[in-house]
Amino acid sequence: MKIQERTGAGAGRSAGPAQPSAGDRLPTAPRERKPALAALAVLLILLGALGATMLVLQAGDRIEVIKVTDDIQAGESVNSSNATSVLVAADDSINYVKWDQLDSLKSYKARSTIYKGTVVIGDMFTKGSSLPAGKAAVGVALKEGQYPADIKPGDVVAVYNVATTSSGSGNTGATSTSSGTPIVDNAKVATKSDNSDATISTGNLSLTLLVNQDDAAAVARAASAGAVAIVHVPGNGN
């Protein structure tokens, strides 16, 4: 009897829709996948890694070569005091002189002027004579007052014979200098040597001059008599 009463009581209730519990969430639409974007991202990552690898490889493919730190005149050599080492990208088409070849390079002569800051190549040097055709090298020793204080290799100079000649009889005769016409009007200073490392400076200077072969004998005679003086002329640095 009790069972029937309960059933009858429940039958009078209206059947409403079931409500979701407070903890349940409504279903969401599935996310749209974009395989093209994912593939692009992977490709960019691979390209970045490849680029970084190439930079590392290129940075490691370098060689140590010789660069001059002073002007090297024709006929001069490279040595540890006028050269330094620099790193450059390896290139088989360029005849670089490597830094570990410096000792061997000292026995070679520059074919022409090599300017400060130049990375040298083998074609700039020769084992034999480097004198230009028709030129001769003459050494002159000068005293203070017979040369400009700022003289340096590469300068163009005029060479004068400043020998004195006596006139009159005995030791009381007057003296006069030789003609004011230069022996050579466009000699080029090839090398310079002074006593700058000495404790006491004497002011003496030795130069090697490049002159025409026809003028070499006259310059040598004046130099042997200690009667050479030089002055700067237009054309310096050429």
Q: What confidence category does residue 184 fall into, taking pLDDT thresholds of 50, 70 and 90?
A: very high
Q: What confidence category does residue 78 fall into, taking pLDDT thresholds of 50, 70 and 90?
A: very high
For position 84, what pLDDT does the model report? 95
The DSSP result for 133-175, as a single string, is TTEEEEEEEE-TTSS-TT--TT-EEEEEE--EEE-SSGGG--E
**Beta-carbon neighbour count of residue 117 at 10 Å?**
11
Please check whether residue 50 lies inside any domain of the structure: no
| Residue at which a domain ends, from 126, 146, 179 | 126
Q: What confidence category does residue 201 fall into, taking pLDDT thresholds of 50, 70 and 90?
A: very low
| Res 101 pLDDT > 50 | yes
* Domain of 114, in residue numbers: 62-126
Inter-residue contact 173 to 166 (CB < 8 Å) = yes
Q: How many domains does the chain have?
A: 2
Please check whether residue 172 lies inside any domain of the structure: yes
* Token reading at 140: 């002159």
Spatial separation of the C-alpha atoms in residues 147 and 194, rounded to whole Å:
12
Which amino acid, one-letter code, is at 42?
V
| Res 87 pLDDT > 50 | yes
Same domain, 205 and 227: yes
Task: With H, G, I as helix, E, B as strand and everything else as coil, classify residue 162.
Answer: coil
Q: How far is CA 113 from CA 5, 83, 147, 222, in A?
A: 125, 14, 22, 28
Inter-residue contact 71 to 113 (CB < 8 Å) = yes
Mean pLDDT along residues 202-225: 87
Q: What is the pTM of this model?
A: 0.49
Please check whether residue 114 lies inside any domain of the structure: yes
Spatial separation of the C-alpha atoms in residues 141 and 96, rounded to whole Å:
37
Same domain, 88 and 159: no
* Token reading at 133: 């055709």
* Token reading at 234: 């237009």
Q: What confidence category does residue 71 fall into, taking pLDDT thresholds of 50, 70 and 90?
A: confident
Report the CATH number that the domain containing residue 88 is assigned in CATH: 3.90.1210.10
Same domain, 105 and 194: no
Task: With H, G, I as helix, E, B as strand and everything else as coil, classify residue 52.
Answer: helix
Same domain, 196 and 141: yes
Please check whether residue 5 lies inside any domain of the structure: no
| Residue at which a domain ends, from 78, 102, 126 | 126
Of residues 6 and 72, more confidence is placed in 72
Please check whether residue 46 lies inside any domain of the structure: no
| Residue at which a domain ends, from 108, 126, 144 | 126
**Beta-carbon neighbour count of residue 81 at 10 Å?**
7
